[in-house]
Structure 1
Amino acid sequence: MNYTLHQLEIFKKVAELKSVTKASEQLFMSQPAVSIQLKNFQDQFKLPLFEIVGRKLYITEFGNEIAKAATKILDEVQAINYKSNLFEGKLAGKLNLSIVSTAKYAMPYFLTDFIKENDSVDVTMDVTNKMSVIRALENNECDFAMVSTIPKKLKIERIELMSNQMFFVAGKDYKVEGKEVNIKNLNKSIFLFRENGSATRLAMERFLIKNKIEIIKKMELTSNEAVKQAVIAGLGISIMPIIGIQQALKNGELQILNIKGLPLETNWNLIWLKTKNLSNVAKAFRDYISENKNDIIDQQFPITQIT
């Protein structure tokens, strides 16, 4: 047998996702390239690693055993690389992050130069809802979390990153009379909410209750991107963080409704448990953020604040 580490990695990813298409996306390869390597890997075994039934890919029992072995081999190779880099004096290891969905528009910019400077650091970033982020933090499944609302029940350390401004937005065809929208007229619209547990939803609910807005029609969506697309399509209106909609505003797909009392403003925070024993990689990232956050914000987010 003469299979390569690259083929092991491809088969492991295909076995994990049960899809050549999804594997190619995550591996940043074309689908034909993945298919060719998968075939070359299969040709080295007498027993089938997978089978296609209908349009679905299924991993055989033998294939599952090979996938487990591939995982162990790749983990050992990674460990060798880490040890080699450590002996060379380089920072090496894993950094695990859990962030709320809207933070995906910001966190990559806080990571980019750190990863470029430390190419032996592997990053796992789970983008999910607030409740899942807090759960990951509680269960010690991540080093850091990025949130706009600080969990009150946890003893945490934090670095305040940047302002998170939220505005009421509507599609380009939403009719507005005058320069300022009468908040009492909003109840004629369909309100688009994030799911329960979302900090954006909580802020929107508090604003509506405070201003005694009656909700006649509403819809719930499970991601910021879904809400944005629904607003663009003219399905309804919503309160959204400015950080995730700037391109849509620039393109004229969305408009900010000029409403008294807005924007709502919170702050993005990088948080971690006080009791967390941070790895060398995690400590280095914490220090990097502390030292460079202002420069990153000035360079990457010069127009995130609208007044």
Structure 2
Amino acid sequence: MKILITGFSGFLGKFLHKKLKELGHEVIGINSKTNDLTKVDALDEFNDIKFDQIFHLAAWTQAGDFCMHHPAEQWIINQKMNTNVLSWWQKHQTQAKMIAMGTSCSYDPDLPHIEGEYLKGKPIDSLFTYAMTKRMLLTGLRALNKQFGLSYLYLIPSTLYGPEYHLDGRQMHFIFDLMRKIIKGTLYDEKVTLWGDGHQKRELVHVDDFIDIMLKLVESQNNTLINIGSGKDFSIREFASKISKIVGYDEVKINYDTSKYVGAKSKILNVDKLLKILPEFQMRTLNEGLESTAKWFSENKDKLLKQ
């Protein structure tokens, strides 16, 4: 198949690009350096290629408190990008299936994180603008399906983790930041300070598991949204304890700064719909995933220590 990936140099994108190439597909990957998706003609060079699938992974965002400080830019840039991609799809690639990424932060924290509630209520204030651009992306997909019959799949991942995460100075998602701090604490024999009280709970899914699930869903599911998660959450303290044991750090040295940004208190996706579609799929255990991820971080400690 001929496949286009936007945001292919991001964490998910590079693993997906590699997997699709291994499966023998003809894959074109683009990023912000090759194609500025805020420009209406950003994808015109591909007009004559008839893609079978388009994976729209590109988004202008970062982890941590980035969203709090860039709400206007997040709205303008992401809305332009999503509108331009969907408009190009409708004009030039109607035969292609669009696979787009949502975000768990689009859910109202006080409502069940089940697909039918995705557009209901109000997302958390600190992530509100980014969350709403993702809701608008789903709305756009539904509109193009309704009016033009285009086929899509909208996937909502829990936090992805695994090796080969970026070490270029950008803010990190919580699990990578935990590893960075605890590994540095081990190397320098120093105390570690984590944000919040440690009781906030999070859910992880390994990037390789996510891609395997996603590709299975692409084969069988159309014009719907699906949560992809492990169905199990742990507190930050539990994650910190597991990582400390893996890298040999004394977790007694960990302090918690309650004055810092913590995000939502709890984020776990309801995966009943996913389990009905793929009841036999087995994800790797959390310990397996954390061990391989920590091993990669430790092997790249020179870059890690510059963070």
TM-score (norm 2): 0.29
Query: Which structure shows the bigger proportion of residues in strand conformation?
Result: 1
